[in-house]
Chain A
Amino acid sequence: MSYDIVFKGEVLDGFTEDGVKQEFARLFKQSAERVEKIFSVPSAVLKSGLDEAAAKRYREVLSDAGARIYISPELPAAGLQLSELETTQSNAAVEAPAASYAIANTGARIEASVAETSQAVAGTSQTVAGDGDRVNDADDVDAGGLKTLPFKFTGNGSEYFKIWIVNILLTIVTLGIYSAWAKVRNKRYFYSNTDLDGSRFEYLASPISILKGRLIAVAFFAIYTLAGNFFPPLGIALFLVLIVFLPWMVVRSLAFNARYSAYRNIRFNFKGDIKGALMAFIVWPVLGALTLGILMPLAVCKQHQFMINGYRYGTSEFEYHAGARDYYRIFLMLFGIGLLGGVLAGLVQATLPLLFGLIVLTMYLYLFAYFTVHIKNLNFNNATLGLNGFSARLQLNSYAWLLFTNTLFTVLTIGLYRPWAAVRTANYIAEHVSFEAQSDLDEFVADEQQQVSALGEELGEVFDFDFGL
Chain B
Amino acid sequence: MGRFEGRWYDGSSSRQQVCTLQISERGDMQVVADDDSLPLHQDQWLNVKLSSRLGNTPRYFEFADGQKFETLDNDGVDALIEQLRAEGISHPASAMAKLLHLMESKIRYGLLALLVVIAVGTWSTVYGVPAVSKWIAYQLPPDVLSLASEQTMELLDSSVFEASTLEPEVSDRVLQHFQPALDHYADLNVRVLFRDGAGMGANAFALPDGTIVFTDQMVRLAQHDDQLLAVLAHEIGHVYYRHGMRSLVQNSMLAFMLLMMSGDVGATAEIFLALPIFLTEMAYSRNYERESDDFALSYLLEHNIDKSSFPDLMSRLQLFSICMQSPDGSCADPEAEVDAEAAYRQFEQGCLHKVLAGEIEAPTNMGESWGDYLSSHPATEERLLKFRDE
Mark out the residues of chain A between 390 and 447 whose CB falls within 8 Å of any chain B CB in the assembled complex: 403, 406-407, 410-411, 415-416, 418, 421-422, 425, 441-446
Of all chain A residues, which has the CB nearest B10?
A265
Give the contacting residue for A442; candidates B14, B252, B265, B267; CB below 8 A: B14
B138 sits at the interface (CB 8 A): no
Chain A residues within an 8 Å CB radius of B147: 230-231
| Closest chain A residue to B252, Cβ basis | A225
Known: A189-B54, A265-B68. A166 touches B13 (CB 8 A): no
Contact B267–A368 (Cβ < 8 Å)? yes
Looking at the complex, which one of A186, A231, A442 makes contact with B15 (CB distance below 8 Å)?
A: A442
Kindly state the separation between the CA atoms of A186 and B54 in the bound complex, as whole angstroms.
9
Assembled-state Cα–Cα distance A94/B153 (Å): 78
Q: Which residues of B contact A364 (CB under 8 A)?
A: 268, 271
- Chain A contacts of B13 at CB under 8 A? 266, 314, 442-446
- Determine which of B11, B121, B248, B263 lies in contact with A179 in the assembled complex, contact meaning CB atoms within 8 Å: B263
Contact-residue bracket for chain A: 35 or more
Residues 241-288 of B at the A interface (beta carbon under 8 Å) = 248, 252, 260-269, 271-272
Residues A189 and B106 in contact, CB atoms below 8 Å apart:
no
From B21-29, B97-105, B303-311, B356-364, the one touching the partner chain is B97-105
List chain A residues, Cβ under 8 A from B56. 154, 159
Could you say which of A69-77, A99-107, A140-148, A194-202 contacts chain B? A194-202
Q: How many residues of B contact A (CB 8 A)?
A: 51
For B104, list chain A residues within 8 Å (CB).
162-163, 166
Query: Per-residue 0/1 for B27-63: is the Cβ within 8 Å of any A Cβ (1 yes, 0 no)?
Result: 0000000000000000000000000001111101000
B66 touches A265 (CB 8 A): yes
Which residues of chain B are near A30, meaning CB under 8 Å?
A: none
CB atoms of B113 and A200 under 8 A apart: no
**Closest chain B residue, CB of each to CB of A411:** B272
Whole-angstrom CA separation of A287 from B263 in the bound complex? 32
A163 to B101, CA, bound (A): 8
Q: What residues of chain A lie closer than 8 Å to B66, measured between beta carbons?
A: 265
Task: Say yes or no: B262 contacts A165, CB within 8 Å.
Answer: no
CA distance A225 to B144 in the complex (A): 14
* Total CB contacts across the A-B interface at under 8 A: 144
Q: Does B54 contact A162, Cβ atoms closer than 8 Å?
A: no
CA separation between A443 and B116, bound complex, in Å?
50
| Chain B residues in 8 Å Cβ range of A418 | 262, 265-266, 269
Contact in complex: A168, B54 (CB < 8 Å): no
Scan A182-218; emit 1 where CB is below 8 A from any B CB, else 0: 1101101100110000111010000000000000000
Shortest Cβ distance from B113 into A: residue: A169
| Nearest-Cβ distance from residue A188 to partner chain B, whole angstroms | 5
- A232 at interface, CB cutoff 8 A: yes
Is B107 located at the chain interface by the 8 A CB criterion? yes
Tell whether A229 pairs with B248 under 8 Å between CB atoms, given A182-B263, A199-B16, A263-B14.
yes
Contacts of B271 in A (CB 8 A): 364
Please provide the chain A residues from 218 to 250 with a CB less than 8 Å away from any CB of chain B in the complex: 225, 229-232
A168–B264 Cα gap in the complex (Å)? 12
A171 within 8 A of B: yes
Q: Is the CB of B117 within 8 A of A160?
A: no
Q: Is chain A's binding surface mostly helix, strand, loop or mixed? A: helix
- Which residues of B lie under 8 Å from residue A264 when comparing CB positions? 9, 14-16
Q: Which residues of A contact B195 (CB under 8 A)?
A: none
Asked if B260 and A176 sit within 8 Å, CB to CB, the answer is yes
Instruction: Fill in one digit per residue for A328-369: 1 if any B CB lies within 8 Å of its CB, else 0.
Output: 000000000000000000000000000000000000110010
Asked if A407 meets B16 with Cβ closer than 8 Å, knowing A202-B60, A265-B67, the reply is: no
> Contact flags (1/0) for B98-134 with A, using CB distance below 8 Å?
0010011111011001101100110000000000000
Q: Is A161 an interface residue (CB 8 A)?
A: yes
Q: Smallest Cβ distance from A400 to chain B, in angstroms?
A: 11
**A155 interfacial contact with B, CB 8 Å:** yes
Q: Are B16 and A198 in contact (CB under 8 A)?
A: yes
Find A162's partner among B105, B116, B117 (CB 8 Å cutoff). Answer: B105
Contact between B107 and A162 (Cβ–Cβ < 8 Å)?
yes
**What is the distance, in angstroms, from A362's C-beta to the closest C-beta of chain B?**
12
On whether the beta carbons of A165 and B16 are closer than 8 Å, the reply is no
Q: With A and B bound together, what is the CA distance between A179 and B261 in angstroms? A: 8
Q: Which residues of A contact B151 (CB under 8 A)?
A: 230-232
Please state if B58 and A162 are interface contacts (CB–CB under 8 Å). no
- A98 an interface residue at 8 Å Cβ cutoff? no
Tell me if B234 is interfacial: C-beta within 8 Å of chain A. no
**In the complex, what residue of chain B is closest to A365 when comparing beta carbons?**
B268
Q: CA separation between A182 and B54, bound complex, in Å?
A: 12
Cross-chain contact A441 with B58 (CB below 8 angstroms): no
Q: Give 10 closest A-B pairs by Cβ, nearest first.
A: A192-B57, A265-B9, A444-B14, A162-B110, A169-B113, A442-B15, A264-B14, A230-B148, A165-B113, A163-B104
Chain A residues close to B by CB (< 8 Å): 154-155, 158-163, 165-169, 171-173, 176, 179, 182-183, 185-186, 188-189, 192-193, 198-200, 202, 225, 229-232, 263-266, 314, 364-365, 368, 403, 406-407, 410-411, 415-416, 418, 421-422, 425, 441-446, 466
List 18 A–B pairs whose Cβ atoms lie within 8 Å, in order of A's numbering.
A162-B104, A166-B110, A168-B263, A171-B263, A182-B263, A189-B54, A192-B57, A229-B248, A265-B66, A314-B13, A314-B14, A368-B267, A415-B265, A418-B262, A421-B269, A443-B13, A443-B14, A445-B13
List 16 extra interface pairs beyond A230-B151, A265-B9, CB under 8 A: A160-B55, A162-B109, A166-B104, A167-B263, A169-B113, A192-B54, A198-B7, A232-B151, A264-B14, A407-B272, A410-B269, A410-B272, A411-B269, A442-B14, A443-B15, A444-B14
